[in-house]
Amino acid sequence: MPFNIYQFWLFYLVVFLLYFRLPHKLQNRAILLASYVFYGFWDYRFLTLIAFSTFVDFYVARAIDRESEEVKRKFYLKLSLFTNLGLLAFFKYFGFFREQFEVALNSLSIPISLPYLEVLLPVGISFYTFQTLSYTIDVYRGKTKAVDDFLDFALYVSFFPQLVAGPIERSSRLIPQVVEPRPKSPYRFEEGLYHVLTGLFKKVVLADNMAPIVNDVFSRPVSELSGFEVLFGVWAFAFQIYGDFAGYSSIAQGISKWMGFDLMWNFRMPYLAINPSDFWKRWHISLSGWLRDYLYIPLGGNRGSSFFTSRNLMLTMLLGGLWHGAAWTFIVWGAVHGLILILFRYLPGGQKDSLGDISAPRFLQAFIFFQFVSLTWLLFRAETIGQAWEMLLLVFSDPRLSDFSIYALANILFFAGPLMLFEVWVEKKQDLLAFLSLSLWPKVLIFLYVVASMLVFSPLAKQDFIYFQF
C-alpha cells in the first residue's frame, strides 16, 4: 500500500484514531494487526514468509540468550543466518544465479538447460531480512537482550511505516520503543507534519515529475540521443531516486512520529557530499551503517594493511550493490563505488566531510562529486551494462543541445532547485529540524507552498516507489 494513494491515508486514519483509544499493550497489538493488513495489501501469500522469519528469529535469539556454551550459540546464530539469507537468496537471486550458472556451463562447452522457475519477489524482503539479522547478531554479540514477548518482536519486524522500504532499524533503537509506553507531545505532531509534507513533496512534486524525463531518455535507442540528453536524463534520475526514496523515509518518520515512534534519519542532504565517504554518511544511512557494522568491520575494517582495507571496502560495496538487485548492473555499480572509496581513502583530505561548510570551494567540490554520483546512476537505471557504457561515452562525445535537453534542464531546475536551496540552508544551520525553529508565518508560508505544489504539479500518472523492487 503506497504512501502516495488515498487508500493508505484512509487506512492510516482508522489506525491512528483507534490507536490513541487503547492502552499500551493493545496499541502494540493494533499496530501489529495493521502492519499485517498493510503488507497483505501487496500480496497476502507472503504474510506466511514474514511470519516464518519472525518465528525463527524470535526463538533463535531466545536460545542464544540463554545458552552459555559458545558452540551452541554459534549454531543458533548460523541457523538464523541460513534461514534469512536462504529465503532472500531463493526469492531474490534464484533466477539470476540459475542463468549465470547455465551461461558458465555453456561457455565450457557443456550444453545444459536448467529448469526455469518463476519466483515472485516479496516486497520489502531485503529490508526486513537485514533488520531481523541485525537483531540476532546483536543478541549473539551481547549488545541487546532477546525479547520475551513474541507479539512485540513481531511488531519490531513488521512495523508498517518502515516495513517495505526502510529505514532498516536496529533492535537497540526500535524494540525499546515497542516495549515501553510511548510519550505524547504536541511537538511530535508538528515534527511529524514536517516529515510527511516534505516527504510527499519529494515524492509527488520532485520524483514523479522527473520520471517522464527519465523514462523518455532510457527508453530511446542510444543512437537517437545526444550527450546532453543523457547527462540531464541521469541528473533527472538522480533527483527521481532521491526524491522517491528519501520521500518514503521521511513520510515513514512522520507517520511514526504521530504514533510516538522515532525512526532514524535515512538521508542527510546527500547531494551536498564532497567525496564518497561523505556521500555514504548521507545516503541510505541505515544500509551503509548496516554494511559497516555487520560486514566491513567483521571482515577486519581498516585494522589491517592497505591491501586488506581495500579488499574489505570492495567486498562491502559489492554486497551493497548485490543487495539492490540481482543483475550485473548493480554489481558493477557497487564495484565502481568501492573503487572510488578506495581511491579517495588514500588522497589527502579524502575522508573529510562538508557538514556545515557552505563556502564556494566546497560547493564546487559537491557539484563535481554530484556529476560522478549521477553518472554511476546510469548503471542503476540502465537495462544492461552495454547500454550504460554507450550512454556514458555519449556524454563525453556528443555535446549537442536539443530542444528536449533544454526542456529537461528547465524541469530539473524548476522542481529540484527549491529543494536544494532549502537543503543548503539546513546544511548551514547544522540542524536537520531547523525549519521547526522558524517563527509561525515563515513555516505557514512554506507549508502552503508545499501543499500548493502538490496540488498543481502532481502528475496524472502515479509512480510507484522505486525502492519497492529491492
Over residues 391-413, the pLDDT tens digits come to 999 999 888 889 999 999 999 99
Cα–Cα distance, 273 to 265 (Å, whole number)? 16
Q: Which of 158, 182, 206 is the last residue of a domain?
A: 182
Q: Is residue 194 part of a domain?
A: yes
% of the chain residues with pLDDT over 90: 67
Average pLDDT over residues 429-458: 90
| Pair (365, 410) in one structural domain | yes
Decide if 133 contacts 86 (C-beta within 8 A): no
Average pLDDT over residues 100-129: 72
| Pair (135, 203) in one structural domain | no
| Pair (76, 129) in one structural domain | yes
Decide if 446 contacts 436 (C-beta within 8 A): no
Lowest mean pLDDT among 90-94, 211-215, 222-226, 403-407: 90-94
Lowest mean pLDDT among 183-187, 302-306, 416-420: 183-187
Full-model pTM:
0.91
Res. 359: pLDDT tops 70: no
Q: Is residue 281 part of a domain?
A: no
Q: Which of 182, 204, 223 is the last residue of a domain?
A: 182
Res. 335: pLDDT tops 60: yes
Cα–Cα distance, 365 to 361 (Å, whole number)? 6
Examine the residue annotation and report whether 324 is marked as an active-site residue of this protein: yes
Q: Which domain holds residue 17?
A: 6-182
pLDDT in tens, 182-202: 877 766 889 999 999 999 999
Q: Is residue 342 part of a domain?
A: no
pLDDT, position 400: 86
Tally of domains within the chain: 2
Cell 567486498, located at residue:
315
| DSSP symbols for 301-362 | TTSS-HHHHHHHHHHHHHHHHHHH-SSHHHHHHHHHHHHHHHHHHTSTTTT---TT---HHH
Cα–Cα distance, 18 to 26 (Å, whole number)? 10
Lowest mean pLDDT among 110-114, 376-380, 437-441: 110-114
pLDDT, position 97: 73
Q: Which of 132, 154, 182 is the last residue of a domain?
A: 182
| Pair (178, 234) in one structural domain | no
CA-wise closest residue to 157 among 172, 171, 144: 171
Nine cell digits for residue 100: 549465470
Lowest mean pLDDT among 90-94, 145-149, 257-261, 459-463: 459-463
pLDDT, position 324: 87
| Pair (113, 204) in one structural domain | no
Task: For residue 306, count other CB atoms closer than 10 A to its CB.
Answer: 11
| Pair (226, 165) in one structural domain | no
Q: Is 371 exposed, middle or buried (0-12, 13-18, 19+ CB in 10 A)?
A: middle
Split at pLDDT 50, 70, 90, the class of 146 is very high
Q: Is residue 300 part of a domain?
A: no
Nine cell digits for residue 81: 543466518
pLDDT, position 182: 86
Q: Is residue 170 part of a domain?
A: yes
Res. 469: pLDDT tops 70: no
Res. 253: pLDDT tops 60: yes
Res. 150: pLDDT tops 90: yes
Positive or negative, the Cα torsion across 383, 387, 391, 393?
positive
Split at pLDDT 50, 70, 90, the class of 247 is very high
pLDDT, position 468: 66
| Pair (178, 191) in one structural domain | no
Q: Is residue 336 part of a domain?
A: no
Q: Which amino acid does the sequence have at 89?
A: A
CA-wise closest residue to 218 among 359, 388, 453, 470: 388
Res. 218: pLDDT tops 90: yes
Average pLDDT over residues 439-462: 87
What Å distances lie between residue 347 and 306, 317, 322, 342, 351, CA to CA? 13, 19, 27, 9, 8
Split at pLDDT 50, 70, 90, the class of 116 is low
pLDDT, position 464: 72
Length of the chain measured in residues: 470
pLDDT in tens, 153-162: 999 999 999 9
Q: Is residue 162 part of a domain?
A: yes
The residue annotated as part of the active site, out of 195, 284, 324, 337, is 324
Split at pLDDT 50, 70, 90, the class of 204 is very high
Q: Is residue 36 part of a domain?
A: yes
Between the two ends of the chain, the Cα-to-Cα distance in Å is 16
Cα–Cα distance, 164 to 170 (Å, whole number)? 15
pLDDT, position 79: 94
Res. 356: pLDDT tops 90: no
| Pair (80, 152) in one structural domain | yes
| Pair (258, 218) in one structural domain | yes
Q: What is the dihedral of CA 381, 386, 392, 396, to 10 degrees?
A: -160
pLDDT, position 235: 97
Instruction: Please state, rounded to an integer, the average pLDDT across all residues of the chain.
Output: 89
What Å distances lie between residue 174 and 77, 128, 319, CA to CA? 21, 13, 25
| Pair (20, 50) in one structural domain | yes
pLDDT, position 354: 57
| Pair (56, 195) in one structural domain | no
pLDDT in tens, 65-104: 998 889 999 999 999 999 999 988 888 877 777 776 766 6
| Pair (158, 173) in one structural domain | yes
pLDDT, position 119: 63
Task: For residue 47, count other CB atoms closer than 10 A to its CB.
Answer: 16
CA-wise closest residue to 263 among 164, 118, 161: 161
pLDDT in tens, 14-66: 999 999 899 999 999 999 999 999 999 888 888 999 999 999 999 999 999 99
% of the chain residues with pLDDT over 70: 90
Q: Which amino acid does the sequence have at 303?
A: R
